[in-house]
């Protein structure tokens, strides 16, 4: 008989405490709560949750294992579809995917699938690594460009199938957005490091400081490798193109977060400088905006998020928005920046916004924000962080000249992640534009399957 009680909440670090540290906010379930929550799952035969998962994890099956505390069994089920459960359990927008479709939404709240997945992920990390593997001398060679979620998951599947995989990473540390983008308090870097270590132990090679198109050309890659997967991520940070945007104190969320997450600028021993104002305005309301706002909060700032639509349209994960509010971050909704103004020193001192109302739905199905004439107001600020997504990186276009690009500037690839150029596949944000970790991982796995099929046929 299933537990018909309410959804269990994971342990959390108190908001008053956590704004003073970078430690993880959500502390997950203990084992007893895990079992209790697992027993809330009705094990629906048609498994609507599974259809909501971008990588199709057999959710009722892994939860069935957890009902009796069998993390090992659950791990084997998840592993068939997802190599990084410790990451996805933390960063997936479950409320829009698996949990959205859970029948328990009508009875005590959706099963906390993300939290349960996280429990399995934690268990995986404590398992001893298998002894280091080396691909056979005659193994097919696969090059993966970029070590973010798409690249890592593609590499993991290709390595499992016996390929000799080399990942090329432009930064000095692997992990892509998991390393430079998502903050420590949401995804501890130790977890990312551990997952990467496991991949290396499984026989995958990672070349750091390697910029494809610069330190190695695409042509060289093509002649040295049997197949290539391009997972170079999204590109240049987008700005608003309004007056005053290049004032000092105005920066992209990518810059702010990279200084903090990758360069560890908030630690005493780091040489990287970080500027954090006292009165920070973050423009945008996606996950990156929440990350930037909450990071600034932890560096001691009062933070206001400016977003042109209403609460309902906020694209960030619900949990991140709740956490941001708990941490005292203000939301100026239905507001759009029109200009920024600086002092005689060229330092930003205010941002002018205009109030918006919601009109008819636009192409995205969301109601279009319309400016209310004459409603401008000024917010005093000493730092503006822009988190509006990215536009394509020209480096990609210049490097992969033979590939086809969409009008948006992303790489064109079919449903099998094939680019049309023999042996060359692409996926993740480089193809879709900025999206989620899990969709990038899904693309990486589809690409791996296509690559393995191609290599088998090529023989």
Partner 1 sequence: MNKVIKTEITAPAVIKMTLEAKDIATHCNPGQFVIVRVDKCGERVPFTICDYDEKAGEITLLIQVVGDTTRKIAELKEGDYVEDLVGPLGNPTELDEYDRVLLVGGGIGCAVIYPQAKKRMREGRACDIIIGAKTKELLFAKDEFAKFSRNFYITTDDGSEGEKGFVTTKLEALINAGERIDCVFVVGPMIMMKNVCDITAKYNIPTVVSMNCLMLDGTGMCGCCRLTVDGQTKYACVDGPEFDGHKIDFAEAMNRLGFYKKREAECRMLKR
Half-sphere exposure of 171 (CA within 13 A, CB side): 19
- CB under 8 Å to 373, separation ≥6 — which residues? none
Taking the complex as a whole, the smallest distance from the CB of residue 294 to partner 1 amounts, in Å, to 17
Segment interacting with partner 1, rule: CB under 8 A, options 23-31, 72-80, 213-221, 302-310: 213-221
In the set 42, 107, 200, 216, which binds partner 1 (CB under 8 A)? 216
> One symbol per residue from 234 to 273: x for binding partner 1 (CB under 8 A), - otherwise; what is it?
-xxx-x-x---xx-xx-xx-xx--xx---xxxxxxxxxxx
> One symbol per residue from 119 to 158: x for binding partner 1 (CB under 8 A), - otherwise; what is it?
----------------------------------------
Sign for the pseudo-dihedral over CA of 200, 205, 207, 212: negative
- Any contact of residue 215 with partner 1 (CB under 8 A)? yes
- Any contact of residue 299 with partner 1 (CB under 8 A)? yes
Pick the closer one to partner 1 by CB: 112 or 250: 250
Taking the complex as a whole, the smallest distance from the CB of residue 248 to partner 1 amounts, in Å, to 5
Segment interacting with partner 1, rule: CB under 8 A, options 22-30, 100-108, 211-219, 416-424: 211-219
Taking the complex as a whole, the smallest distance from the CB of residue 438 to partner 1 amounts, in Å, to 21
Judged by CB under 8 A, the chain residues 343 through 372 that form the site for partner 1 are 345-346
In the set 163, 170, 301, 379, which binds partner 1 (CB under 8 A)? 170
- Any contact of residue 21 with partner 1 (CB under 8 A)? no
Taking the complex as a whole, the smallest distance from the CB of residue 174 to partner 1 amounts, in Å, to 13
- Any contact of residue 79 with partner 1 (CB under 8 A)? no
Segment interacting with partner 1, rule: CB under 8 A, options 85-93, 105-113, 281-289, 391-399: 391-399
Pick the closer one to partner 1 by CB: 202 or 234: 234
Pick the closer one to partner 1 by CB: 4 or 208: 208
Pick the closer one to partner 1 by CB: 60 or 237: 237
Pick the closer one to partner 1 by CB: 118 or 298: 298
Sign for the pseudo-dihedral over CA of 72, 77, 79, 82: negative
State CA 406 to chain mean position distance: 23
In the set 274, 358, 370, 371, which binds partner 1 (CB under 8 A)? 274
Pick the closer one to partner 1 by CB: 77 or 431: 431
- CB under 8 Å to 204, separation ≥6 — which residues? 155, 156, 159, 165, 166, 167
403/415 Cα distance (integer angstroms): 16
Pick the closer one to partner 1 by CB: 107 or 395: 395
Pick the closer one to partner 1 by CB: 170 or 293: 170
Pick the closer one to partner 1 by CB: 127 or 214: 214
Taking the complex as a whole, the smallest distance from the CB of residue 452 to partner 1 amounts, in Å, to 29
- Any contact of residue 20 with partner 1 (CB under 8 A)? no
Pick the closer one to partner 1 by CB: 258 or 416: 258
Residues near partner 1, by CB under 8 A: 170-172, 180, 208-211, 214-217, 235-237, 239, 241, 245-246, 248-249, 251-252, 254-255, 258-259, 263-276, 299, 345-346, 393-395
């Amino acid at each position: 008989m299933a537990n018909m009680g309410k959804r269990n909440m994971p342990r959390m670090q108190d908001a008053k405490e956590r704004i003073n540290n970078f430690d993880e906010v959500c502390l997950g379930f203990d084992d007893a709560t895990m079992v209790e929550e697992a027993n809330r799952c009705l094990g629906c035969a048609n498994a609507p949750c599974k259809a909501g998962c971008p990588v199709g994890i057999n959710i009722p099956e892994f939860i069935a294992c957890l009902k009796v505390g069998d993390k090992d069994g659950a791990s084997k089920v998840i592993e068939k579809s997802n190599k990084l459960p410790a990451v996805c359990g933390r960063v997936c927008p479950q409320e829009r995917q698996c949990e959205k479709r859970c029948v328990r939404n009508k009875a005590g709240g959706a099963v906390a699938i993300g939290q349960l997945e996280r429990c399995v992920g934690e268990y995986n990390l404590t398992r001893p690594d298998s002894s280091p593997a080396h691909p056979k001398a005659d193994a097919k060679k696969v090059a993966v460009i970029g070590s973010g979620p798409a690249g890592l998951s593609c590499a993991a599947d290709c390595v499992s199938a016996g390929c000799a995989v080399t990942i090329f990473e432009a930064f000095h540390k692997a992990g892509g957005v998991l390393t430079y983008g998502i903050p420590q308090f949401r995804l501890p870097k130790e977890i990312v490091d551990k997952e990467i270590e496991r991949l290396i132990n499984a026989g995958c090679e990672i070349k750091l400081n390697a910029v494809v198109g610069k330190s190695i050309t695409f042509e060289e890659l093509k002649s040295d490798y049997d197949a290539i997967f391009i997972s170079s991520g999204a590109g240049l940070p987008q700005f608003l193109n309004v007056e005053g945007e290049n004032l000092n104190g105005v920066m992209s969320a990518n810059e702010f977060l990279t200084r903090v997450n990758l360069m560890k600028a908030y630690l005493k021993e780091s040489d990287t400088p970080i500027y954090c104002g006292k009165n920070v305005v973050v423009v945008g309301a996606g996950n990156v905006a929440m990350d930037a706002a909450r990071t600034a909060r932890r560096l001691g700032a009062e933070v206001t998020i400016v977003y042109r639509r209403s609460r309902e349209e906020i694209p960030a994960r619900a949990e991140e928005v709740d956490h941001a509010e708990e941490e005292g971050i203000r939301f100026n909704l239905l507001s759009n920046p029109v200009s920024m103004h600086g002092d005689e020193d060229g330092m930003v001192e205010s941002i002018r916004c205009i109030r918006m109302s919601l009109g008819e739905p636009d192409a995205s199905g969301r109601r279009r924000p319309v400016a209310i004439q004459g409603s401008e107001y000024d917010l005093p600020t000493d730092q503006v962080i822009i988190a509006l997504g990215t536009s394509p990186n020209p480096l990609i276009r210049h490097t992969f000249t033979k590939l086809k690009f969409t009008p948006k500037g992303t790489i064109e690839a079919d449903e099998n992640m094939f680019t049309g150029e023999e042996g060359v596949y692409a996926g993740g944000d480089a193809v879709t534009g900025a999206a989620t970790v899990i969709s990038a991982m899904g693309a990486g796995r589809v690409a791996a399957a296509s690559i393995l099929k191609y290599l088998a046929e090529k023989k």
